[in-house]
Amino acid sequence: MADYEAVIGLEVHVQLATASKLFCSCPNHFGSAPNSNVCEVCAGMPGALPRVNAQAVHYATLVGLATHCEINQNSVFARKNYFYPDLPSGYQISQLDLPLCEHGYLDVMVEGQSRHIGITRIHMENDAGKNIHAQHENVSYVDLNRAGTPLVEIVSEPDMRSGAEAVAYLKALHSIVTYLGVSDGNMEEGNFRCDANVSIHKKGEALGTRAELKNLNSFRNVQRAIEIEIERQKDILEDGGQVVQETRLYDAVKNTTASMRGKEEAHDYRYFPDPDLLPVGISDEQMAAWRAELPELPASRLARFTAMTGLPEADAEVLVSSRAMADFFEEAASHAEARKVANIMIGALQRALNARGCTVADTQFSPAALAELVNIVENGLISATIANDIVPDLLESGAMPEAYVKEKGLVQISDTGELEGIVDGIIAANPAEVEAFRGGKTKLMGFFVGQVMRATKGKGNPAAINSLLAQKLQ
């Protein structure tokens, strides 16, 4: 088998979380009744004039700044012409010659290695509507609520070499747009969509013909689709065939890609500057203000959090997975030991959030409560086990941990008098084990600790139990 190298570039479409659409005041809202957010502009009626949304320009610029792009303070909208029923005007308003942002990059970590991924351009454009195809009917239905939603398209250089690298880049981009608060980033709702261009070639030889993959609606699917496509192209070349330039649709159920027949006619979009729209100008003052507004981004926060906690990067990534999570950690860690705060967040809290399918922002749990939880373990009021066990309840109720454990009777038994009685009882009830222990089977210590813990319903102070047992079993 020859030594092939894959070349991957991604085109990512991000819906901007503005209140209104890109060129009209219709609400930009997912899930409204069909065609309820439609006017003459987004329905493409002749003579209706578009006006650009100031907030969309602002958000798109923030994305460019956060990805180290040069910002064109004069950018121009162009018409991309094609016919499809979800595009009522017959053209998409996009940018070609003078996009808002160019020449950026992201550095991402892949399997412990840093990779530099170039960003060719980021431009603004409007989204299309949605076609709905009913079975056994001779019509298709068109919902234009999405038509006119502001998008940025982020086009990478073909700098990725594997599915894993593509996903690492995509996740970095996703966390940036959600940190900036410019997109909800919900992949199922189509806020964050990705197409992948994939080709392979033998090392040292010219680049191969590329296929464009569509319908990659989760991080996992992006990786799987790219990997399966690389294998498909290898098989073709190994059999002496040639890869055809085409668009292929990923089928997540079958884990295959299939050619999108019927869409193969060569695209000729006949771009030209949109005569309805003047250039978008951004003043120097505006640029300075937007630059100053950039929050600390995930990569920099991750570096700081690993230093604060001493945790490996792979573990600390949970802490920066969203801006809400990172803010939560930062706040809690200012009132309790950072490492211990991190451990609960990465373990019990993350599990509880996954089980509920929600984020920390959706719960009643506060950073102050987490800090208090860490501190009452620290001062011996409860054990670490109990602390982890009660996290789901705290999430649900919003109770403060100290009051909660006192009310539920979960306070740790550190009183040696009370523990001594229990330890004596366990020793008396297990004479065979006591004899074996004294005969040298010191591993049985675990058994005794377990018995005492069971008798105290997990509330015994482990240090006190260990020392009492050691003393009594001698």
Residue numbers at the binding site for other proteins (CB under 8 A): 18-20, 25-29, 33-40, 43, 45, 51-57, 74, 76, 81, 83-85, 98, 131-133, 137-144, 268, 270, 273, 277-281
Chain centre distance of CA 253: 22
User: With respect to other proteins, which residue has the nearer C-beta, 5 or 86?
Assistant: 86
To other proteins, the closest distance from the beta carbon of 284 in angstroms equals 13
To other proteins, the closest distance from the beta carbon of 10 in angstroms equals 26
User: With respect to other proteins, which residue has the nearer C-beta, 61 or 343?
Assistant: 61
User: With respect to other proteins, which residue has the nearer C-beta, 142 or 230?
Assistant: 142
To other proteins, the closest distance from the beta carbon of 19 in angstroms equals 4
To other proteins, the closest distance from the beta carbon of 39 in angstroms equals 5
DSSP assigned state of 185: -
To other proteins, the closest distance from the beta carbon of 290 in angstroms equals 14
Element (H, E) at 59: helix 54-66
Residue 373's Cβ-side half-sphere holds a number of Cα atoms within 13 Å equal to 34
To other proteins, the closest distance from the beta carbon of 47 in angstroms equals 12
Taking CA atoms, 122 is separated from 78, 152, 255, 305, 389, in Å, by 14, 6, 30, 30, 46
DSSP letters for 264-313: -SPP----EE-TTSPPEE--HHHHHHHHHHPPPPHHHHHHHHHHHH---H
To other proteins, the closest distance from the beta carbon of 154 in angstroms equals 21
User: With respect to other proteins, which residue has the nearer C-beta, 51 or 116?
Assistant: 51
Taking CA atoms, 364 is separated from 149, 261, 296, 341, 416, in Å, by 33, 51, 26, 17, 36
Q: Rounded to the nearest 5 degrees, what angle is found at the Cα of 172, between the Cα atoms of 14 and 123?
A: 35
User: With respect to other proteins, which residue has the nearer C-beta, 39 or 110?
Assistant: 39
With beta carbons less than 8 A apart as the criterion, state whether 21 and 142 touch.
no
Element (H, E) at 169: helix 163-180
Residue 131's Cβ-side half-sphere holds a number of Cα atoms within 13 Å equal to 8
User: With respect to other proteins, which residue has the nearer C-beta, 42 or 226?
Assistant: 42
| CB within 8 Å of 450: residues ≥ 6 apart | none
User: With respect to other proteins, which residue has the nearer C-beta, 140 or 334?
Assistant: 140
To other proteins, the closest distance from the beta carbon of 266 in angstroms equals 10
User: With respect to other proteins, which residue has the nearer C-beta, 69 or 124?
Assistant: 124
**Two structure tokens written together for 81:** 């012409």
